[in-house]
Amino acid sequence: MAEGIPGVLSGIRVADFSRVLAGPYATMMLADFGADVVKIESPSGDETRAWRPPVDDTGESTYFGAVNRGKRSVVCDLGTAEGCAKAVRFARTADVVVENFRPGVMERFGLDEAALRAVNPRLVYCSITGFGRDPGGDLPGYDLLVQAVGGLMSITGAPDGEPSKVGVALVDVLTGLNAFSGILLALRQRESTGRGSRVDVDLLGSLLAALTNQASSTLTTGAAPARLGNAHPSIAPYELFRASDRELVVAVGNDRQFAALTTALGLPELADDVRFVTNEARVAHRVELREALEAVLTTRPAAAWVEVLTAARVPAGLVNDVAEAFAFARSLGREPVVTTVDPATGRTSRQPATPIHLDTAPAVHRTPPPLLGEHDARWADETPAAADSARDPR
């Protein structure tokens, strides 16, 4: 954050009851822009604290660290009356409550929307589920499961191989972004109505919406798309190719780029070949086209071809590993990593930077992911009397 500039969400307090990935991702984004996010954890902590290896220099799970920077951690044992009362006292002073328990669990704790809104009508209440509230409410909302039943695995992987998941919990991330957006919409609506609202997002709905062109094709034609590996169902050449040393991607999106590609490869005749003269023809003859292009691409290293094709304004790039991807971003003048420091202990954490940039209110990368219960003492000073007097829920 630029010195002296408050986060755009400064003054917004979030009671975060969510665990694992989707909810914590959403609340971390809120914290990145200045919200005061208090992560309310069980005595054993968020499950991802135990998802190790790998670990950071202090022995903490890097999975937990990935989505929990900038927050405070408070322990509430919701299995006890005292713990529930403690959590309720905090939640009733919050602007936003985020939870991802199974339907009915928050009611049992006295933390459901109706109970909290009775004392705080301005509350924005965000529920994240795997498959909605009913009748899918009892189904476990694990990312891998949703990738399978939501159709994503059926279109991911080699045509002659098994269905494959994406290499990161993408559905959780998408759902977290939807929750973040929904909360911001609800806060904006509250400005005009004076009342909070409920935000419901689920993993299955987030995935189905994210299928975009694949979903549209299925809904229009009635035919489910097949796996194409790294090829595109509607564009060619738009896939992975072998060079002499490693793979590269060529992503041609129009006829001009295709003509530039063929010229750069010394194959200008392909641009006039009836099999390849239009994108529709190239899609129909993608196998022959791939063979013709790869026969030339395999004669030189991938990096050399990327340089040639980029100069010809043909979209192309190496297949980087994650470390190479961060180095590539830096080579373009980006700073993709943020290092947060705990001012009290000097503890540090390195994480991907927030990808949203506001010139007047930049992100607030404040503190490392909290240790379990790290802020219990400060929380006790704030609730119930101090917090209730400091914040008027009306």
What positions carry a catalytic annotation? 172
Residue 251 phi, psi dihedral angles, 5° rounding:
-125, 80
Find, among 373, 385, 377, 392, the residue nearest to 40 by Cα.
373
**Long-range pairs of 264-267 with CB within 8 A, sequence gap ≥ 24:** 264/308, 264/309, 264/311, 264/312, 264/314, 265/293, 265/296, 265/297, 266/296, 267/292, 267/293, 267/296
Find, among 212, 192, 206, the residue nearest to 26 by Cα.
206
One DSSP character per residue, 7-36 reads PTTTT-EEEE---TTHHHHHHHHHHHTT-E
Helix axes 170-193, 22-32, angle to 10 degrees: 50
Distance between CA atoms of 108 and 216, rounded to whole angstroms?
Answer: 40
Cβ contact 91:97 at 8 Å = yes
DSSP conformational letter for 61: B
Cβ contact 162:229 at 8 Å = no
Q: Say whether the peptide bond before residue 237 is cis (omega within 30 degrees of 0).
A: yes
Number of CB atoms found within 10 A of residue 10's CB = 13
Q: Which amino acid, residue 203? A: L
CA distances from 362 to 2, 28, 86, 258, 342 (A): 7, 14, 33, 40, 20
